[in-house]
A and B are shown apart, each in its own frame.
Chain A
């Protein structure tokens, strides 16, 4: 079939916009991996809670600005949930062996998954995009949803904010230091437990934003945690575990190869993400960028 330039450009932009959501979620996952050294399987559940909360808040507030309120508040609900789990349960486990932490986050994902079902029920939910971002614009004749344009803008903003946070604030610097050498940070008289808690919350906040941002583009269902989590782990792995820019690179690889794959070889789209990981890891066994692992 004939593929014009307009379609290729559109497809590229679509890939980028999808990457942005992945990037926001994966940056959170990667941050937790880097500082706490915990593969947080419950990250997908937090993302799901973010999306469901966005639905509820949008509906409750209503009007044309409902979504914006939700976008501001839903991630904090996620942070609240994670704060409770972190302080009540998780913080007692930091000294435990690795597999137990995986088991813990897995249990958490089971519990959160069922809690979401109890709170929100099992129906599909859908959030309309805000009035401002409805419909699509035309790029060289091909139509491109406005909401995706918004994602392309907000992704880098979140990235920059995160970068500023980790490099310019004290707590951010401490987290980065803890990622490299936690004993040393402890020796300096810093309460590592609180650093961990803080890093965990930042990561979860990002999962919440990801969930809120994805809400208008998908049907919000139970099980969206499952679909996301495996993809997110693959992304942070190819990028380099614990490296925020790695998460960006990984997300872009996923998003863009996927959308081009769809354009040219739709029948193989299902295997692209896995192929990408296999190729990257065979060439660079520690991921593309420097890993703290």
Chain B
């Protein structure tokens, strides 16, 4: 009996719910709306806050000058808690409810791929700012998705190109046991093997994402005495990997390559406790290239937020530049025209001119390979001996993209 009585209340609840839902909002020709769905809680925030903050800085500047096409740009953010289901439902909310003109964001590759399929059906441009899967603009790429961040294919090429110049032969690969780690490792190794057929892979180890204790892995690796180790880690594991490399004295014995080891997101939290001589690659350093443009950008960011910009800031900045420039070129807020304008567009950035490749909608970013070092005057380690790997060497070829897409 009591079950039935519950029905009344369900009814009541639903009616209340509908009443909350019903007041609709009508959107007149207001500002241009951009929706950002990203992870604003948990470890990924180290990266995503910089994307958001740099984006805001750039957009504020545009709005101060009167906006684009006579309209202001407005953006709203959603926190997906690094959960794919939330990411998808929040992206849907931004598109269906907020009626955003352009969608941006995501650091979670699975979420990005899910949202990607959705924007394809809704025909909304989606600019990916941090997810690294090469499927995003590769195998699963389509007209409505753009990426202003590096991906695992690019990292692989860049790292291989840099490592091939070094004398190591016997390698060990270790990393986070998830798609990013494996894709990165495969990318580096495949390309390295092509450039240097004599390299050998003597072993691999994989730990679960967020593994708090890496000493056993490092002990196991040093037992095998490789010439160099490639770490395929990301996020919080980066800081962990560096810490353990230092604590076990591993970094002094065996050269290590870790993508983003030289990046400020990794080095800042470690302060002066980071290991030296670790080889790393990154899209951005606030101290390199030493150009007026980069200095001005880093200064503006530091003035606004009291911290040095990390790699995410570059992505946020790029997204803002691409959006405003493409809107200006398109002449009005029309999604299809916006996409046409964005294809092949070039914008100026702290790391030089960046082109949005027309074929796969992947921003052509150069990569910087450096070695960590203590330098007087900085309360953290920085990258030195930086070599620039130009975008042409980093980007997967269009043939490779076509092949991945099964064309």
- Chain A residues engaging chain B, CB cutoff 8 angstroms: 1-4, 6-7, 10-11, 14-15, 17-18, 114, 117, 122-126, 128-129, 134-136, 142-145, 147-148, 214, 217-219, 221-224, 227, 258-259, 262-263, 266-267, 269-270
Contact = CB atoms under 8 A, between A and B. Distances in A.
Interface residues of B, number: 43
18 contacts: A1-B203, A11-B216, A15-B216, A124-B43, A135-B247, A143-B219, A143-B249, A144-B219, A145-B247, A214-B212, A217-B212, A217-B244, A219-B236, A219-B240, A221-B43, A222-B45, A227-B212, A262-B207
B225 to A, nearest CB: 10
A3 to B, nearest CB: 6
A128 B273 CA distance: 6
B223 A223 contact: no
B217 A124 contact: no
B239 A124 contact: yes
Contacts of A144: 215, 219, 248
B397 interface: no
Given A7-B219, A126-B273, A136-B248, A1 B46 contact: no
A7 B220 contact: yes
B224 A142 contact: no
Contacts of A224: 210, 212
Most chain B CB neighbours (cut-off 10 Å) among A4, A128, A217, A221: A221
Nearest to A263: B220
A249 B340 CA distance: 64
Given A126-B243, A223-B236, 18 more contacts: A1-B223, A4-B223, A7-B219, A7-B223, A15-B216, A18-B212, A18-B215, A124-B43, A124-B265, A135-B247, A214-B212, A218-B212, A218-B243, A221-B42, A266-B217, A267-B204, A269-B206, A270-B177
Interface string B243-286: 11001111001000000000001001111010000000000000
B82 to A, nearest CB: 8
Interface in B199-241: 202-208, 210, 212-213, 215-217, 219-220, 222-224, 236, 238-240
A14 B215 contact: yes
Nearest to A59: B271
A124 B223 contact: no
B49 interface: yes
Contacts of A145: 215, 244, 247-248
A135 B249 contact: yes
A128 B271 contact: yes
A219 B243 CA distance: 8
B41 interface: yes
A62 to B, nearest CB: 12
Given A219-B269, A263-B220, A148 B45 contact: no
Contacts of A262: 205, 207, 216-217, 220
Most chain B CB neighbours (cut-off 10 Å) among A124, A134, A148: A124
A166 B236 CA distance: 38
A11 B204 CA distance: 17
A263 B220 CA distance: 6
A11 B219 contact: yes
B275 to A, nearest CB: 12
